[in-house]
Amino acid sequence: MNFDIYKFTCFLNNRVLIIGANGQLGRIFINALLERGDFVLASDINTPKPISLGCEFIYLDALNQRKIKKAVLKYNISQIYNFAAVLSAKGERYPMKTWEINMGAFLNVVKASIGTSVRSIFWPSSIAVFSEESGLELVRNEVPMFPTTMYGVTKLAGEKAMSYFNTQGLIDIRSIRFPGIVSSSEPGGGTTDYVVEMLKAAKQNKSYVSPLNKNTVLPMMHVEDAVSATLKLMNVERKKISINGAYNLGSFETSPKQWSEIISSLGYELKLEFKEDFRQSIADSWPKEIDDTQFRNDIFWSPKFDAKSTAEDILKLI
């Protein structure tokens, strides 16, 4: 891309299309982008809950490339956030469908964007790309990766493809390997969903059965930190980004036991049982801690929330 044009357009508000806007991340991204003064077009295959989104909404199937392109052209879109995906736990029930949806959505968005007004695409990757071979105690950015879930396979395949597109200069795609995200909105179909479900149970004075062992440590992050890191990544000049693939991103680490202790320390009584299911072996193949030095050095970002302030904040919002 011509650098001068890029520099100029950076100072204009973005015209953003969010695909998969009804998921865990959609609404909070919509609010953050609107606050910055961007034009936001939200889209999903499900209609949003009847609370106003504060922006336009269209029905859009991420597997329909023609319709994505039509929306890009009609609304003169400059950035796309593509959140359409089947997550790790649900993906193990429907592995073929997961490949079709995750890779189909990824490729359709790329194909619908090349040669249009779209300057950059955000496509989230995940800690699911890692495996035991990655050295799970503290996982660096570039390590051997042999994902154990179909979700992880699609994320790694997408990373390789985005790296190719970036290297060839076909389209600017940026990505972060998200840890488990703690939000007041419902996750769905993930292995890390317990962090949100446990907060909900505590708030409603219900008991909770954890699908993961009490000592299983995984990296987690407050959704606001995930949003601030992403928006920073999407708004730096490409030359500041030292890699063509996805960045590691970390914040804090917790286990079901530690998380329940934090919840109790905030004055909630949570009756907790443990009944491991197939999600345990997924969690066992994921990092305990993430080394995100490269992201922090390139993007100058650090998280605002630790484990306790995350739980406290989200409990207030639920």
Residues lying near ligand AKB in the complex (CB under 6 A) are found at: 87-88, 126-128, 151, 178, 180, 190-192
Q: How far is the CB of 253 from ligand AKB (least distance, A)?
A: 13
Q: How far is the CB of 223 from ligand AKB (least distance, A)?
A: 11
φ, ψ of residue 55 in degrees (nearest 5): -150, 175
Q: How far is the CB of 218 from ligand AKB (least distance, A)?
A: 8
Q: How far is the CB of 88 from ligand AKB (least distance, A)?
A: 3
DSSP the chain: --HHHHHHHHTSPPEEEEESTTSTTHHHHHHHHHHTT-EEEEEESSPPPSS--SSEEEE--TT-HHHHHHHHHHHT--EEEE-----HHHHHHSHHHHHHHHHHHHHHHHHHHTTSS--EEE--EEGGG--GGG-TTSB-SS-----SSHHHHHHHHHHHHHHHHHHHTS-EEEEEEE-EEE-SS---S-STTHHHHHHHHHHTT--EEESS-TT--EEEEEHHHHHHHHHHHHTS-GGG---SSEEE---EEE-HHHHHHHHHHTT----EEE---THHHHHHTS-SSB--HHHHHHH----S--HHHHHHHHHHH-
Judged by beta carbon, residue 80 or residue 226, the one nearer ligand AKB is 226
Q: How far is the CB of 220 from ligand AKB (least distance, A)?
A: 9
Judged by beta carbon, residue 88 or residue 134, the one nearer ligand AKB is 88
Judged by beta carbon, residue 151 or residue 301, the one nearer ligand AKB is 151
Judged by beta carbon, residue 20 or residue 180, the one nearer ligand AKB is 180
CB under 8 Å to 201, separation ≥6 — which residues?
207, 208, 270
Q: How far is the CB of 219 from ligand AKB (least distance, A)?
A: 8
Judged by beta carbon, residue 14 or residue 255, the one nearer ligand AKB is 255
Judged by beta carbon, residue 34 or residue 161, the one nearer ligand AKB is 161
Q: How far is the CB of 226 from ligand AKB (least distance, A)?
A: 11
* The pairing of beta strand 208-210 with beta strand 272-274: parallel
Q: How far is the CB of 242 from ligand AKB (least distance, A)?
A: 23
The closest residue (CB) to ligand AKB is 190
Judged by beta carbon, residue 6 or residue 94, the one nearer ligand AKB is 94
Judged by beta carbon, residue 79 or residue 192, the one nearer ligand AKB is 192
